[in-house]
Amino acid sequence: MAFEQPLGLCGVLPSSGNLSSSQYLAVVENSSGQVAVAGGNVACIGVLQNDPGVAGYGATYMYAGITKMVAGAQLSTPGVSIMSDGSGRAIAWTTTHPALGYLLDTASGAGALCTVQLALTPGGVS
For the chain, what are the domain ranges? 9-63, 67-119
pLDDT in tens, 67-123: 999 999 999 999 999 999 999 999 999 887 888 999 999 999 999 999 999 987 655
Going from the C-alpha of 29 to that of each of 21, 32, 46, 114, the distances in angstroms are 18, 8, 9, 23
pLDDT in tens, 23-57: 999 999 999 999 999 998 888 999 999 999 999 99
57, 12 Cβ separation under 8 angstroms: no
Q: What is the mean pLDDT of residues 5-34?
A: 94
71, 62 Cβ separation under 8 angstroms: no
Q: In a 3-state reduction of DSSP, which class is residue 109?
A: coil
Q: How far apart are CA 71 and CA 113, in angstroms?
A: 6
Name residue 65's beta-bridge partners. Answer: 118
pLDDT tier, 8 (very low <50, low <70, confident <90, very high otherwise): confident
Question: Does this model's pTM top 0.75?
Answer: yes
Q: How far apart are CA 42 and CA 32, in angstroms?
A: 17
Going from the C-alpha of 79 to that of each of 58, 84, 101, the distances in angstroms are 32, 16, 9
Q: How far apart are CA 26 and CA 16, in angstroms?
A: 14
